[in-house]
Amino acid sequence: MNVHLKVQPHHLERGAYLYIRQSSMRQVVENVESARRQYALRGRAVALGWRDEQIIVIDNDKGESGASAAWREGFQRLVSDVGMGHAGIVMGLEVSRLAGNNADWQRLLEICALADTLILDEDGVYDPASFNDRLLLGLKGTMSEAELHVIKARLRGGILNRVRRGEFRCPLPTGLVYDHFGNVTLDPDMQVRETIIHFFEMFSRLGSASQTVKVFRNEGLLFPSRLHNGDTLFRPLTASTAMRVLNNPRYAGAYTYGRRQFRRNIDGKRTLRARDIDDWPACIPDAHPGYISWERHQENLKILKANGRGFEAARASIPREGPALLQGRAVCGQCGSHLRVRYAARRGRQEAWYICNRARIYRGEPMCRSIAGPPVDEAIGMLIAEQMTPAAVELALEVRKEIQARHEEADRLRCRAIERAQTEVDLAQRRFMLVDPGNRLVADTLEGEWNEKLRTLASAREERERGREHDQFILDKAVHERLVAMTADFSELWKDPDTPSRERKRLLAHIIEDVTLLKLPAEGTTKLHVRFKGGKIQTLTTMNPKSSAQQIKTKPNIVERIDKLLDDYIYPEIAGILNEQGHRPGGTARRGCHNARFTPLKVAYLIHEYKLQSRYDRLRQREC
């Protein structure tokens, strides 16, 4: 059948759609001949009878893969116009240009058959409504999809083979670079190296990413960040940057590939999901120089996991500012879950409560346990003070050395920032001196850059002076004497109100693994099973605080005293005797009632409440 006979007058009344696509931006730039061949199909449409103004070119999918139609706006527009009957013919250089996915291709063929739209490629003209043409087009679509799969498999296989040997070059994080031989080395910029080293040392001391970010902010330190053009820019450290650096094994000298996986959704879009380390295609420790060891990196990951909030037993959250001493380390003796901390304002201060409410949150059951925090924290504090007394002097001196080393490192980083700023000032000055004075536009621009670099240098010097004054204030003579005085008695340091609760918890974390709390309401006590880091277990017992009803209850000895006085005295006389002897009713525990005294009515109430024999009954019993 002559191909021209397939083109009917009603086809020529509609538009001719020319779809042009290249799979990547690199192909758009380099494969110019392919684009020319696709645009040349306009001549085929004109030869078949379409006017030039009827030809509609859709080329806004350049640089997009044909694996899916989800993100190809041009292809979606083409399918829409075909379905609305606007297209008489659809032109593409080959099937793979229109769709690399057989499902998308078959959907286009179905719509073209229903709308009586022809399809043209480099080999000829086809009518999707014809069985033979439809069969041929279907085979072409299947072969196109198979071709795409084979090409991807070959490329992927070659990449994975190089990955297993650790030779595939991946983008490196800030602080690592490739040398002239393609080997990974530390950044030659000394300021970048020292800043990253200081970051890891600070995290090792504090054990918290957020606390490390706060220290960088308080000390005015900036963290390096590599731009896409390769330049390094120093910015304030953020929590997301800190977490990204701590989780990246490249800083530990390990070659890794495939830590995250792209997964395609039903709509064709891709999502990024993290993989477990066992599922990584490659993980080669000690493959290149790093800032920390592989063992230190694994320890950092454990710390980050333990710091995360949650019910998991492996998680002991980072020390925070609240007074609850066992935050993240208290375990329920009833069900084995980690106890959570809640605070209540009482008597003008915050009091902690350890609660086990996992069953209530997840299953709607009653709350398992609620244990008052002050008695528990007091017992644990006394235990820590007893355990740590022999090592108090050594501990205090180590703390002072750590603070001093941290300040010296911060000052060294500030000096690096000044050196970098001075280098940029010298460079800007030389550029300004070499310019032709007659070229005022260039000279003014370079002079502005020079002034900006001078302001940056002045700011760096001022920042160093402020930091040194702040550090000197912290390590002055008075602070040193106070620290040395406290080393003689660790309990004094522990009970010092100026010692932050967060620091107490950090110290406790080095000594105690966890504490299991078992509340015994019948006995009015709570058992504390303390498990130390070395494996030793010690059991303590604390008294449960009295309830409000118990606190306002009259003491038993006063009730016994009233019972004896009833033999000889009436109610007003009994009230006067009790007040003279300094006894007070139980209601004095209430707020604002601390000056309450016994009255005849109060005495009568106690006689009735405790079912004591009344004065009247006692007199009648005597007469009998």
Residue 327: name the closest of 348, 353, 361, 350 by CA.
353
pLDDT in tens, 222-249: 899 888 777 888 889 998 999 999 999 9
pLDDT in tens, 289-339: 999 999 999 999 988 887 775 545 445 566 666 778 888 788 888 887 888
Query: Which helix (DSSP H) or strand (DSSP E) does residue 311 occupy?
Result: none
Residue 105: name the closest of 114, 91, 95, 120 by CA.
95
Residue of 23, 68, 96, 208 with catalytic role: 23
pLDDT in tens, 71-109: 778 888 888 888 888 888 988 887 667 777 777 778 888
Residues 226 and 232 sit within 8 Å (Cβ to Cβ):
yes
The predicted structure's pLDDT at residue 252: 92
Task: Give residue limits of the domains in the chain.
Answer: 3-161, 169-307, 321-544, 550-623
Centre a 10 Å sphere on the Cβ of residue 399 and count the other Cβ atoms it contains. 15
What's the gap between Cα 594 and its chain centre?
Answer: 50
Residues 453 and 432 sit within 8 Å (Cβ to Cβ):
no
- DSSP structure class, residue 166: T
Mean local confidence (pLDDT), 273-278: 84
Would the pTM count as exceeding 0.85? no
The predicted structure's pLDDT at residue 1: 38
- DSSP structure class, residue 338: B
Do the domains 3-161 and 169-307 sit in the same CATH topology, yes or no?
no
Q: Per-residue DSSP letters for 254-280?
A: -EEE-SEEEEE-TTS-EEEEEPPGGG-
Say how far apart CA 117 and CA 107 lie, in whole Å: 13
**In CATH, which superfamily holds the domain spanning 169-307?**
Putative Large Serine Recombinase; Chain B, Domain 2 (3.90.1750.20)
CATH code of domain 3-161: 3.40.50.1390
Q: What's the pLDDT band for 601 if we cut at 50, 70, 90?
A: confident
Residue 99: name the closest of 123, 78, 124, 129 by CA.
78
Q: What angle do CA 264, 269, 275 make, to 5 degrees?
A: 45
The predicted structure's pLDDT at residue 611: 83
- Please say if 459 is a catalytic residue: no
